[in-house]
């Protein structure tokens, strides 16, 4: 039986859960508010009891997502400041190797090379996912809070800020939706290598064969540490 390697702890999986479930709810309730005359909007409003209910559900899901994001930032800060884990050892920062891996992958996809890039804990694909959500949260949460309390904010900022917040919130929401569907879902679930779905998001583990294929450098590091500990 193939050995299983832990990729994500229960804590990390829960953080992911409380990010993607609210996101789905936000998409379902948000686009009908943006396009209330669409057939999809009419269907959602009829199913949940009208636009006011949709707004309430939307705001509740947004609050959960924001709290989850704040917890994640605190979680990363705790690992760096208390557990003394260098940011470089979290393998989240883009670097020179990522640029090299992109070029290697392009050559591989274009049949110019038989060599696939060898990824460590997170590939450039996963880093793009992570940082897209990270900076996107500041735009979505910031503009969303302004739209949640427009009267209060209109007392301290020019009215044009409210309009800018609406445009930013609406356009970033569409961008996030397309990025998740086109980029994230394909790479994580629809890719022929993992179809019909990558189970790591709820299992938290990968088999040795999967690690060898997806994260060979991390697997080598794990085995090297185990040798040193013997």
Say how far apart CA 196 and CA 189 lie, in whole Å: 6
200-205: long-range pairs with CB below 8 Å, 24+: 200/7, 200/8, 201/8, 201/13, 201/16, 202/13, 204/6, 204/7, 204/8, 204/9, 204/10, 204/12, 204/13, 205/4, 205/5, 205/6, 205/7
Model confidence at 19, pLDDT cuts 50, 70, 90, reads very high
Task: Kindly state the tokens that stand for 169.
Answer: 């919130």
Give residue 22's pLDDT: 96
* Contact yes or no for 124/101 (Cβ under 8 A): yes
Supply φ then ψ for residue 9, to 5 degrees: -75, 170
Instruction: List pLDDT tens digits, range 37-87.
Output: 889 888 998 898 888 999 999 999 999 999 999 999 999 999 888 888 777
Give residue 1's pLDDT: 61
| Most confidently predicted of 27-31, 64-68, 111-115, 116-120 | 64-68
Give residue 227's pLDDT: 84
Give residue 83's pLDDT: 82
Residue 110 Cα distances to 8, 15, 83, 87, 107, angstroms:
32, 37, 43, 34, 5
Mean pLDDT of the chain: 91
**Average pLDDT of span 189-212:** 87
List the one residue out of 140, 135, 203, 211 whose CA is nearest residue 169.
140
- Report how far Cα 163 is from the mean position of its chain's Cα atoms: 27
Give residue 57's pLDDT: 95
Give percent of the chain above pLDDT 90: 65
pLDDT at 2 over 80: no
Instruction: List pLDDT tens digits, range 135-188.
Output: 999 999 999 999 999 999 999 999 899 999 999 999 999 999 999 988 898 888
- Give me the domains of the chain, ranges plus CATH numbers: 4-229 (1.20.950.20)
**Average pLDDT of span 26-30:** 94
Task: Kindly state the tokens that stand for 66.
Answer: 């924001």
CB atoms within 10 A of CB 19: 16
Give residue 163's pLDDT: 93
Q: How many helices (H) and strands (E) does the chain have?
A: 11, 2
């Amino acid at each position: 039986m193939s050995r299983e390697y832990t990729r994500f702890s229960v804590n990390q999986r829960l953080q992911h859960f409380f990010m993607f479930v609210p996101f789905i709810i936000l998409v379902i309730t948000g686009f009908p508010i943006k396009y209330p005359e669409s057939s999809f909007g009419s269907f959602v409003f009829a199913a949940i009891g009208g636009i006011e209910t949709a707004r309430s559900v939307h705001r509740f899901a947004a609050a959960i997502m924001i709290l989850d994001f704040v917890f994640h930032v605190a979680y990363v800060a705790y690992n760096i400041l208390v557990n003394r884990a260098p940011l470089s050892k979290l393998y989240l920062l883009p670097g020179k190797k990522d640029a090299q891996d992109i070029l290697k992958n392009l050559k591989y996809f274009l049949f110019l090379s038989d060599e696939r890039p060898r990824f460590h804990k997170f590939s450039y694909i996963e880093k793009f996912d992570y940082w897209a959500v990270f900076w996107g949260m500041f735009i979505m949460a910031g503009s969303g809070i302004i739209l949640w309390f427009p009267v209060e904010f209109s007392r301290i900022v020019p009215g044009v800020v409210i309009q800018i917040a609406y445009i930013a919130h609406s356009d970033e929401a569409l961008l996030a939706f397309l990025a998740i569907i086109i980029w994230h879902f394909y790479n994580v679930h629809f890719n022929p290598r993992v179809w019909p779905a990558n189970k790591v998001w709820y299992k938290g583990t990968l088999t040795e064969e999967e690690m060898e294929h997806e994260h060979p450098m991390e697997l080598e590091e794990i085995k090297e540490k185990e040798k040193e500990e013997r």
